[in-house]
Structure 1
């Protein structure tokens, strides 16, 4: 046994770059994994200039382009790189594999993912083409936020008899296509008793005053700016209208009828929020018509059987164990590195 004073602590770098308007789920996922691994490895965060530094609990470095990444990796010599930066390129990956024993990517649709040791695809394309063996794709890899646990399966709870139907609109932290405005403009034409809660993300860059004016023109409509009770609002809702990225995974964990509008072509090709899994997918949000959207909202409100069927399909999905699966992969890479890069300081060498 190696004496404690001579043991070398493992080192994990988590590299975040919020891309494709994915919101803050990648950051929440990374922090959850980091806190689970603090007793097993030193955790260091990398982030680009457009991504907020994760937390004061960990050492953080800002990355300014590929050369900055290579320089820091060379200096810090991590045992594992966990990378959540969107699609990567094989040229950069060729250099990184020479420097890092093990590399794990999240939601990587680029050719660089083929050179990673493992790729976790929580966001996955609707395709029948086989993925390489080192890809783990599917909704089973979704990591349920601890704040979401109290609301699991909350959608099957009975609402009060006099309950007014409640629609929650949420298009993530940024909403680059301003689907919040488009959706509310259509929804305010509904002439039925309906409570509408519009969640505006912390990085919403559009004119909020226009939303407020529309809310004032319709009864029981309110605009909520980055509320702390976002998940509770989902659990209370009779219907959620949202993006096609990570939000549907949260909705399926709760069990609520859900209409999905894709922010962009990337989201429109994702394979999770489908009718098979209990969602109404209306395609690209910028192309949705008022009649299609309002009909989709009315359908589960008027047809209880269709509402129940959607919720049952969502709750049949085995959501919730993704964290354990991902941690198992990370611990395997820590214990059994895929390679020993040139110049890498091994435990044996460190003891000399």
Structure 2
């Protein structure tokens, strides 16, 4: 029911002779005729009494009526290219007033080429018009750039001082989306009275479709999904799940809305996500988490939290969410829409489970840096055992290198954020340096691909890092931190890395023997390099993204039917 107010009409001009995009007003934009968006926006307004389309085109007229608008057929002389909008609006206004035998007090011109205009924005403008008693309100968007104009034969800047964009004085561009006018100022020559103001809309709502690029931008925005990542990282679990979520988010964010939903006690993971400037909502228990989800209304939920319970996944599904789980070995996996697991193989996976190396998501840097070409002599050894290294394999490996007396080889150690015995390690490294060892310890390394590519041998745990090393092709030695990592079969199936087994069964001597073997056997390192690089891991990210988005679309179609 419309609120009581002074009578208002919305007039939508839509002629048939569009030149930039032929027939654009009735072309399907995200499966709806372009003009349908403006009509529906106006009809939902709590202030607008009548919605009128003025057109010279029979098809536009029929489709406009189908969407609930009244139609005024404009004369041919008002449908020419050079005719401005003012006489068109005046003709439609006087025609509908005569037809309905009434006079309106306010007129809103709404362009069909601004399909992202929301009813909330429209009603906010109308409310401002009522409260402040303006003659006219125009929608605009901010354009904070360094502009120039041509004055005579010279170019003149439209700014006082050259500054970075965010510090410039604002310049506004009319969007054309909405012009609201008092009836008394609307004539064949103008719709702008002496008392007027502007109303800034968002860049999305300010899109005015004139080109195919504008059309693509609008369609991408209309197809945007709300994707919520439920993921955590701390000193116990490390940051591997966080990095994967960020890798996917970095590709999805251009076309979708991304939100991270995280346990507020897991500060390490929250800090990492904040570094990438993604919005983070935190919760302390399941009730608060589901309350946030109710507010967010996600289309897709991505769980990267290891083993899930059936009740949790069923609750998500019952709320109508499409649920994607990563590396879920819990009983809840049975109830997810799809489960993606690059680490742990399954010979007979269920139809909704996707296993194996083809689903590993490499970070962007691994697409940039070149692959490794082994050289006869080993000059650089890299030690990197993940975010936490719970078995302190870092120190164990350094002891092995000390026993081998490898003072001529550069030893690079990369510590994760969750590595605990830092003070003890740095003290040990100091002693090694005094003995002539060339040891360098790094933290917060941004470009692991570069570090792996520069190394001749990498020692690492049997988690996702194995895939990263494989994508670079550097010969490596793998040690599993726990029973879960033992189940990562890529090491065994690829025959690329040299696997030493489970951490508690591996001695310093075992590590030393493996390192010496690789140093002494150049043909073996060449063979390992070839075996690793034959697995093309760089096409995986696109495969995973397509799997998630296409599965969601298929689920929506099936659910709708």
TM-score, length-scaled by structure 1: 0.87
In the alignment, structure 1 residue 86 sits paired with structure 2 residue 86: no
Distance in 1 between residues matched to 2:532 and 2:282, nearest whole Å: 39
Name 1:116's counterpart in structure 2.
336
CA 1:167 to 1:336, structure 2 compared with 1: closer, same or farther past 3 Å?
same
Between the aligned partners of 1:305 and 1:212, the Cα distance in structure 2 is: 32
Q: 1:275 to 1:140 in 2, by over 3 A?
A: closer
Aligned position for 1:336? 554
User: Is the CA contact 2:458–2:477 (under 8 Å) kept in the aligned structure 1?
Assistant: yes
Structure 1 residues 194-228: Cα deviation after superposition (integer angstroms, max 9, x where no partner): 22111112221113334423432342222223334
Q: Deviations over 1:115-160 (max 9, x none)?
A: 10011101114x54x111111111111122111223342x12x64x
Q: Secondary structure at the match of 1:319?
A: coil
Deviation for aligned residue 1:332: 1.7
301-310 or 192-201: bigger deviation: 192-201
Q: Is the 8 A contact 1:187 1:294 kept in 2?
A: yes
**After superposition, where does 1:248-259 map in structure 2 within 5 Å?**
248-259=466-477
- CA shift for structure 1 position 22: 5.6
1:274-313 to structure 2, matched below 5 A, reads 274=492, 276-313=494-531
Task: Classify 1:115/1:318 alpha carbon distance in 2 versus 1 (closer, same or farther; 3 Å).
Answer: same
1:80 touches 1:100 (CA, 8 Å); kept in 2?
no
Label 1:19 to 1:263 Cα distance change in 2 as closer, same or farther (>3 A): farther
Structure 2 counterparts to residues 224-239 of structure 1, below 5 A: 224-239=442-457
Higher alpha-carbon Rg? 2
- The Cα of 1:90 is off from its aligned counterpart by 0.6
Question: Is residue 240–residue 387 contact of structure 2 (8 Å, CA) maintained in 1?
Answer: no
In structure 2, distance between residues paired with 1:39 and 1:255:
31
Q: Secondary structure at the match of 1:52?
A: helix
1:166 aligns with 2:380: yes
SS at structure 1 position matched to 2:288:
helix
**Higher mean C-alpha displacement, 135-144 vs 240-249:** 135-144
How many equivalent pairs are there?
336
Is this contact kept in 2: 1:10–1:334, CA < 8 A? no
Is contact 2:235-2:419 (8 Å) kept?
A: no
Identify the residue that residue 462 of structure 2 maps to in structure 1: 244
Cα offset for 1:62?
1.0
1:100 Cα offset (Å): 3.1
Q: Which runs of 5+ in 2 are unaligned?
A: 1-31, 38-114, 119-221
**Residue 247 of structure 2: SS of its match in structure 1?**
helix
Shift of the alpha carbon at 1:299? 1.4
CA distance in 2, matches of 1:227, 1:20: 17
Shift of 1:17: 1.8
| Counterparts in 2 of 1:219 and 1:35: CA distance versus 1, 3 Å | closer
Could you say if the C-alpha distance between residues 258 and 214 of structure 1 is closer, same or farther in structure 2, counting changes exceeding 3 Å?
Answer: farther
For CA contacts below 8 A with separation 6 or more, give which structure has more relative contact order.
Answer: 1
1:25-64 equivalences under 5 Å are 25-48=240-263, 49-50=265-266, 51-53=269-271, 54-55=273-274, 57-64=277-284
Q: Is the 8 A contact 1:19 1:85 kept in 2?
A: no
The 2-side partners of 1:36 and 1:230 are apart by: 19
Do 2:478 and 2:499's aligned partners in 1 also have CA atoms closer than 8 Å?
yes
Q: What SS class does the counterpart of residue 196 from structure 1 fall into? A: strand
- Whether the 8 Å contact between 2:232 and 2:270 is mirrored in structure 1 is no
Match of 2:23 in 1: none
Matched, 1:189 2:403: yes
Alpha-carbon offset, residue 339 of structure 1 = 8.9
**Which shifted more, 75-84 or 283-292?**
283-292
The 1:195–1:58 alpha-carbon spacing in structure 2 relative to 1, beyond 3 Å, is closer
Q: Secondary structure of the equivalent of 1:273?
A: helix
Residues 27-56 of structure 1, C-alpha deviations (whole Å, 9 max, x = no match):
233223223223433211111221225136
Q: Secondary structure at the match of 1:169?
A: strand
Choose the corresponding residue for 2:239, options 5, 15, 24.
Answer: 24
Q: 1:117 to 1:85 in 2, by over 3 A?
A: same
- Measured in 1, the distance between the counterparts of 2:390 and 2:293 equals 32
Distance 2:471 2:395 in 1: 27
What secondary structure, in the 3-state scheme, does the structure 2 residue paired with 1:245 have? coil
Deviates further, 87-96 or 67-76 = 67-76
Task: Find the aligned partners of 2:531 and 2:417 in 1 and give their Cα distance.
Answer: 31
| Pairwise CA RMSD | 2.5
Instruction: Say if 1:164 and 1:256 are closer, same or farther in 2 by CA, change over 3 A.
Output: closer
Match of 1:209 in 2: 426
Q: Per the alignment, do residues 283 and 183 of structure 1 end up closer, same or farther by CA in structure 2, a change over 3 Å counting?
A: same
* Whole-angstrom distance in 2 between the partners of 1:316 and 1:214: 41
Distance 1:292 1:96, change over 3 A: same
Q: Calculate the TM-score normalised by the size of structure 2.
A: 0.56
